[in-house]
Amino acid sequence: MTKIYLSLGSNLGDKKKNLSKAIRYINDQVGHITNISAIYTTEPWGFDSNEYFLNMVVEALTNLSANEILMRLVNIEKKMGRVRDPHAGYVSRTIDVDILFYGNEIIKNQFLTIPHKHICKRKFILQPLSDIAPGFKHPELGKEIQQLLAECTDPSSVKPFYSL
């Protein structure tokens, strides 16, 4: 079994419901979820939108390869209404699921870059990841997640989400 960390985000529709649905799909189709971070309200990153995001990170155990996980996550996103346009760049979406870490492996191929290449630049990933894995060491940088969060220069707002 390999421990993986996945980032989940949504800024369209019923965002909290989208995250819950994605968690169920991941648990059924990708691996057994063993830990879930708090949910955070965050600003869009890399594009302008009036719709804030809800972001979180989950930890899971899986027997799948990283490529198999990617294919299943793309299918989950598609099933949940995500439309991908390779020419559109960053856009609003019902669900976005990224593989952050696949054990301590470093994978670079035409489909995948693991660890995720933008982890260190994105507070909306580092904050929830720090909730559940503060001492996990980035396999390339050798720094713990809590240290990466402390060093992150991302000025965007990341606030705890409180369900009303």
CA 164 from centre of chain: 24
**From 72, 98, 122, 154, the catalytic residue:** 98
Name the catalytic one among 82, 122, 131, 154: 82
Conformational region of residue 81, where left means phi above 0, alpha means psi within -120 to 50, and beta covers everything else: left
Which bin fits 95, alpha (ψ -120 to 50), beta or left (φ > 0)?
A: beta
For the question of residue 93 being annotated catalytic, the response is yes
Burial class of residue 20, CB neighbours in 10 A (0-12, 13-18, 19+): middle
122 is catalytic: no
Q: Round to whole Å and give the CA distance between 8 and 10.
A: 7
Catalytic pick among 72, 96, 122, 154 = 96
Indicate which residues carry an active-site annotation.
82, 93, 96, 98
